Amino acid sequence: MGKAPQRLRHRHEFLRVARGGKKCAMPGLVLQVHEQQSPNHRKCPENIRLGFTVTRKVGNSVTRNRARRRLRAAASIVIQKYAAEGHDYVVIGRALTTKRDFGALVGDLEKALQKLGKWQERIGAKDEGRLEP
């Protein structure tokens, strides 16, 4: 398993992903992906950067923060294990994010990664965190 994802924190980073990347809308979330580039315009394949956003359309601050926490939890399960390295990912909350079953939310993120072609099965990732019956 790779390094823990770094966070996107600045507006210009989110805008770059939105402008130059691909997106996939699912019932519980929207996933945007953009390939990273270093300042000299070369690929940066070594890490994953991740950002989260939930707009005011979703609800008040309590609802938005709950949606953001659920998205972070789903991303901690999926992104670090299965996302292609060298890309920036932005996960956008929707109105159904807080109401959707957590398993379905994780499934939405997995399907979005697969649809965008960024699903990368890592060796040993399937068995990690799984409890044997």
Query: pTM of the entire structure?
Result: 0.83
More confident residue, 125 or 60: 60
Task: Express each pLDDT in 26-72 by its tens digit.
Answer: 999 999 999 987 665 555 556 889 999 999 999 999 999 999 999 99
Kindly state the average pLDDT of the residues 85-108. Answer: 95
**Per-residue pLDDT at 130 exceeds 50:** no
CB 30 within 8 A of CB 37: no
**Per-residue pLDDT at 133 exceeds 50:** no
Gap between the Cα atoms of 114 and 100, Å rounded:
20
CATH architecture of residue range(s) 6-115: 2-Layer Sandwich (3.30)
The distance of Cα 123 from the centroid of its chain, to the nearest Å, equals 20
User: Structural domain boundaries of the chain?
Assistant: 6-115
> Hey, what amino acid is at 35?
E
**Per-residue pLDDT at 131 exceeds 70:** no
Tokens of 41: 């315009």
Gap between the Cα atoms of 126 and 49, Å rounded:
22
**Per-residue pLDDT at 13 exceeds 50:** yes
CB 13 within 8 A of CB 53: no
Q: What percent of the chain has pLDDT over 70?
A: 82
**Is residue 4 very low, low, confident or very high in pLDDT (cuts 50, 70, 90)?**
confident
**Per-residue pLDDT at 132 exceeds 90:** no
**Per-residue pLDDT at 101 exceeds 50:** yes
Gap between the Cα atoms of 125 and 7, Å rounded:
22
Hey, what's the torsion of the CAs at 95, 96, 102, 108, to 10 degrees?
-100
